[in-house]
Amino acid sequence: MNTDDFAEWSARAAQWGADYRASLRDRAVRPRVAPGQTYRSIPAAPPERAEDMEQIFADFEGIIAPGMTHWQHPRFFAYFPANAAPVSVVAEYLVSAMAAQCMLWQTSPAATELETRMMQWLRDAIGLPDSFEGVIQDSASSATLAAVLVMRERALGWAGNSAGLRAGPQLRIYCSAEVHSSIDRAIWISGIGADNLVKIPSTGPRHSMDAAALDAAIRADIAAGHRPAGVIGCTGGTSIGGCDDLGAVIAVARAHDLYTHVDAAWAGSAMICPEFRSLWAGVEGADSVVFNPHKWLGAQFDCSAHFLRNPDDLVRTLAIQPEFLKTHGADGIINYSEWSVPLGRRFRALKLWFLLRAHGLEGLRDMIRNHVRWSVDLCEKLRATEGIEILTEPMLSLFTFRPAGADDTATLALVEAINNDGRIYLTQTRVGDALAIRFQAGQFDMQEQDAQVAYDVICELAGVAPVAR
């Protein structure tokens, strides 16, 4: 591909993207394809000779695009959003064109310094004190793994990386039962082991970790000869939006000199709205906090904001400096590869810069406030609908429901009917022993009418009469 071809196909790809976005409401949210359908459409062996771009692009449109779930669809109400505001996509075009490797200051000075400034912008936007410094990780899973590794090293006197875990005491880490499965994976990967992740019961309307039970568990582990290493708090758990009382949880952790990490992967974006910050009151006492601008805020995946009270602990845990990675003759620089598990780093800060400037904090606040309001309104309509029961109340824009009195089989059948219909996309979870249907509003281009479509589809496929508008 020469320069002229590159220009032509870049323009064509951009136009395809614009046309795709404009047509999303006309598409089923989840593709109507059978397992293996795409796989069987692709030759078993790579071509020996170069193929024409017209054919490659045609196969993209004919084979790949029809098999994609449309995460940018305004009626994507499943999981949590993976928003990519159009301005963020434009920034990613530029990042892809430059193809910079941003592991060190010297390998991309502007990328490093923009990242520093963008993390300050985000820190201030969500109300964290300026004692926190930040780094952009690829995902909350990586940020949580990094935090768990710091917990491990700190508890072992910074000897775990050199001596391993076998000679040391049995480490213990604590969290609520509402945390994301990425916490379990971080415990596996860190070598601490699933048996040493202690899940504390959740209580109250916000499904918060029981601080008294946390303290009792820590004391019991100490008495048994184990070594507590850290506590992971949660704001906006994935299943039903559980929110720990961070002030109480962090107070217990501090009393036992434990490192604290707060996973606010989804809900953290809402903290740009001051009225929602009560959900994570006490967060300023944490050692580590993560949220994902690539979820609700509109930054294209991947872009996870990881804030640290003392970055030196993270660097001490992760940094390794062979001669070929040293930067000589420059003082006071940051090499963000020392703040994350991977050495290689993409230029993630550019899309944040474009996004925050193009929409402004007020524009983003309006979007989040609308999503919360529309979700609460939908919840109330469903509550008033005979034949539907609400299982968990809205936490921001997330709530759960099911057909009244239904067993798991009937509930799952409704989820499948809704998703096969294609007009909206929902997912299921468990509330206690019961299967429940999750609804969350958060897609960047969602409008109030999309929430009404969701209500109409749910009523139609559940076979219940909608309430009068």
| Residues 263/144, Cβ–Cβ less than 8 Å | yes
Task: Fill in the DSSP letter of residue 314.
Answer: H
Six-digit token string for 130? 């300026």
- How far apart are alpha carbons 294 and 343 in whole angstroms? 21
| Residues 246/262, Cβ–Cβ less than 8 Å | yes
DSSP per residue, 3-53: HHHHHHHHHHHHHHHHHHHHTGGGS-SS----TTHHHHTS-SS--SS---H
Beta strand 227-234 with 259-263 is: parallel
- How far apart are alpha carbons 343 and 324 in whole angstroms? 13
Burial class (CB in 10 A: 0-12, 13-18, 19+), 1: exposed
Beta strand 202-203 with 197-200 is: unpaired
- How far apart are alpha carbons 212 and 111 in whole angstroms? 45
Helix (H, G, I), strand (E, B) or coil at 109: helix
| CATH 3.40.50.920 assigned to 101-346 | no
Same fold, 3-69 and 101-346: no
Instruction: Give the model's pLDDT for residue 283.
Output: 96
Which sequence spans correspond to the domains of the chain? 3-69, 101-346, 360-462
Task: Annotate 20-37 with b (16+ C-beta within 10 A) or e (fewer).
Answer: eeeebbebbbbbeeeeee
Task: Annotate 406-438 with b (16+ C-beta within 10 A) or e (fewer).
Answer: beeeebeebbeebbeebbbbbebbebeeebbbb
pTM: 0.91
Instruction: Give the model's pLDDT for residue 328.
Output: 42
Six-digit token string for 466? 């909608």
- How far apart are alpha carbons 204 and 390 in whole angstroms? 17
Helix (H, G, I), strand (E, B) or coil at 307: strand
Sequence length of the chain is 469
**CB under 8 Å to 279, separation ≥6 — which residues?**
206, 235, 236, 243, 267, 270, 271, 395, 396
- How far apart are alpha carbons 466 and 458 in whole angstroms? 9
Query: Could you say which residues of the chain have pLDDT below 50?
Result: 323-324, 328-329
Instruction: Give the model's pLDDT for residue 335.
Output: 85
CATH architecture group of domain 360-462: Alpha-Beta Complex (3.90)
Task: Fill in the DSSP letter of residue 306.
Answer: E
Instruction: Select from 3.40.1280.10, 1.10.287.110, 1.20.1340.10, 1.10.645.10 the CATH code of 3-69.
Output: 1.20.1340.10
The percent of the chain in helix, strand and coil, each rounded to the nearest 5, is 50, 15, 35
